[in-house]
A and B are shown apart, each in its own frame.
Chain A
């Protein structure tokens, strides 16, 4: 099959929002100023588990400068069992509201209890401290195994099975027969700690509840329409009564899909009669938003003498945090997703504990489960005397492989990623000396479709305005503009992308699920095709012909020709402006595989790990803007290395987080990491006109096991707990 040639796709233009970002002109939520704006503060629970006996807000309300105080009692009445559905899963309204403002019980230290709006943030904080809450402190439970044990404190009375909110189970083939065929069986159990996405910009929201009953919200969100729909559901309003304007976003990684502040700011605004701004502190972010689950995963794999997997079994227990919804389902779906295995049993448990309610984090659930699978395979490779990548290649998933959850893969690039790792200069280079180790691992993440919309409007100077609703987290303005430019025969710089509010563009799903360049890209592609069709009709009218050709940005017919810009200048005389919209809800998503090679050195005296060299390999389908694909790979790898080596919520026995600042929560910095090398593999996704696969997530899956395997080679120890920090390495 021939490889398509492109003019714009595959190049590296400067991002459209680059100048605003580097000069500080870009407006983030905390920058927003409005007439008569007042400021809010949230009162949070000091207890991980307690019954709320009484809330007295009278002293706060009496403080000069205070405009409003709200609690969960200010939510409109709704049935306790009402379900809300945002098109990506259902949620109990009581859980959604309960996490925003606690009612009846607090379920984690940091749980929001009440909020204040005042003339400035200082008065608001002072007033919040005057709210008197009487608690009956209850015993707390902090890990999934402890919460599943008999006699554990129960968080929710409505769950039928103690603290187990959901069970997932996948079965294929005959597990017992598969293990009976094995000549070698390895089983291991590994724990991971709760970690946070660690985005730079804290959550924020400004709301104005107008006297006409409509609410305007400005916030930092990965999905303006989801924020709109969730806020409307919480406040029991029609979605058309809420308009959300997404401000620039300083990172999200899945953590800015849920709403925390938006409905609270709206309630405060309704009472205050003014716009109200809420901005979280870093501690609020750590303790009041959703980290990713801590987990325990047990994996057992059997192989025959040739290294072919004959059976695989997994048991997963993930901490949901305070409310159901841990990422155990995708963890279970991906635990063996890289391999072609006939006999499988996977059991997973979503377990509520007294920690913040968890949220998505880049390939949510997959790193936890891949850690166990990939370290077990590493041990098997060692015991068989096989190269670890060769073992994986002998079992790699391919087109037609059936996943444990049922469907078979379309065209995928798992084998190509493994081959690229094996052929890489890094894998074939020697290690630099003693106490060094090299580890490899691979991982998989789905892509999702979901609706997206876009509008393209042709300007008389030959440029094109692109209106879209996808929050730009990692360069999507550029990747979308480039797809429009490719179709229209223009330069990327000729497309002017703008991310607009929910009243100004068709429904668009979240920037999540590695979907934006794929799905919104499809909407842009389709809108561009409509523009070409309309422009052809204008040229046909101009030249009095029936058929017009378009290639490389030039319209032509019967010896006539006009460039896109030349024809754009004549639109006014040929029928008026051209503006075309498209909305998609696509199939054709293509999953992405990623691999990581990690070299590291361990100081045998201190247990300090130094990452020496890492190479990230990922199938991008077709890299629209290779620099931003590389950026995603480097970002996911850096986060994964931090997760593997250092990051962790330190909780005391009472469930209080003791390291809720970036001074104490040890994320890697540029000083901790080498340059992250990247190899982009391109196995085009047949479900997209340019072959796009989403690249935002799969890259965070392999770092945990890649590091674990490298640490084993460096120290001779198979560690069973992440983070693999000096204390874990030294067995302290």
Chain B
């Protein structure tokens, strides 16, 4: 199963749980499973200032990004930059 990691400040929605293993073929499917476990958590994860990282790469596809059974999904700050 894929592992979804929760940002530290979102862990108040998960009772302090840092990550969870869930099944799905896309990030969106994983999030449906996470939402079933922690109702309302998606709105804390799907925000414009958070990027989705799958297997250590920020994905422009977001919830449409395919995942593997051993994938890691993180929600990290979206970075732009200055030069």
Residues of A contacting B76 in the complex (Cβ-Cβ under 8 angstroms): 333, 405-407
**Out of A170, A364, A586, A636, which one reaches B81, CB within 8 Å?**
A364
Q: How far is the CB of A477 from chain B (nearest CB, A)?
A: 16
Interface string of A470-481 (1 = CB under 8 A from B): 000110000000
Residues of B contacting A257 in the complex (Cβ-Cβ under 8 angstroms): 80, 82
Interface string of A308-336 (1 = CB under 8 A from B): 00000000000000000000011001000
Do A90 and B49 have beta carbons less than 8 Å apart?
A: yes
Do B81 and A512 have beta carbons less than 8 Å apart?
A: yes
Do A406 and B9 have beta carbons less than 8 Å apart?
A: no
Do B47 and A90 have beta carbons less than 8 Å apart?
A: yes
Do A167 and B81 have beta carbons less than 8 Å apart?
A: no
A449 interface residue, CB < 8 Å from B? yes
Not counting A364-B81, A407-B53, A445-B81, a sample of 7 additional A-B residue pairs whose C-beta atoms are within 8 angstroms of each other reads: A167-B9, A252-B83, A359-B82, A448-B81, A474-B83, A587-B58, A697-B82
- Chain A interface (Cβ within 8 Å of chain B)? 83, 85, 87-90, 167-171, 197, 252-255, 257, 329-330, 333, 359-364, 405-410, 445-451, 473-474, 510-515, 585-589, 632, 636, 687, 696-697
Q: Which 4 A-B pairs have the closest CB atoms?
A: A254-B82, A513-B81, A696-B83, A360-B82
Given A330-B79, A474-B83, A696-B83: A409 touches B59 (CB 8 Å cut-off): no
**Out of B9, B82, B83, which one reaches A168, CB within 8 Å?**
B9
Interface of A is mostly: loop
Residues of A contacting B5 in the complex (Cβ-Cβ under 8 angstroms): 406
Q: How far is the CB of A659 from chain B (nearest CB, A)?
A: 22
Q: How many A-B residue pairs have CB under 8 A?
A: 114
Do A585 and B79 have beta carbons less than 8 Å apart?
A: no
Residue of A with least CB distance to B83: A696
Residues of B contacting A405 in the complex (Cβ-Cβ under 8 angstroms): 7, 74, 76-77
Residues of B contacting A409 in the complex (Cβ-Cβ under 8 angstroms): 56
B48 interface residue, CB < 8 Å from A? yes
Residues of B contacting A589 in the complex (Cβ-Cβ under 8 angstroms): 57-58
Size band of the interface chain B makes with A:
20 to 34
**Out of A252, A512, A585, which one reaches B80, CB within 8 Å?**
A512
Interface residues of B in 59-83 (CB under 8 A from A): 59-60, 72, 74-83
Residues of B contacting A447 in the complex (Cβ-Cβ under 8 angstroms): 81
**Out of A85, A167, A406, A445, which one reaches B48, CB within 8 Å?**
A85
Docked CA distance A447–B83 (Å): 10
Residues of A contacting B79 in the complex (Cβ-Cβ under 8 angstroms): 330, 333, 446, 448, 513
Do A512 and B9 have beta carbons less than 8 Å apart?
A: no
Docked CA distance A408–B83 (Å): 24
Q: How far is the CB of A559 from chain B (nearest CB, A)?
A: 45
Docked CA distance A448–B60 (Å): 11
Do A90 and B58 have beta carbons less than 8 Å apart?
A: no
Docked CA distance A607–B76 (Å): 43
Do A88 and B80 have beta carbons less than 8 Å apart?
A: yes
Residues of A contacting B82 in the complex (Cβ-Cβ under 8 angstroms): 197, 253-255, 257, 359-364, 512-513, 696-697
Do A513 and B80 have beta carbons less than 8 Å apart?
A: yes
Docked CA distance A329–B56 (Å): 18
Do B83 and A89 have beta carbons less than 8 Å apart?
A: no
Given A89-B48, A587-B60, A589-B58: A510 touches B80 (CB 8 Å cut-off): yes
Docked CA distance A169–B77 (Å): 11
Q: How far is the CB of A119 from chain B (nearest CB, A)?
A: 38
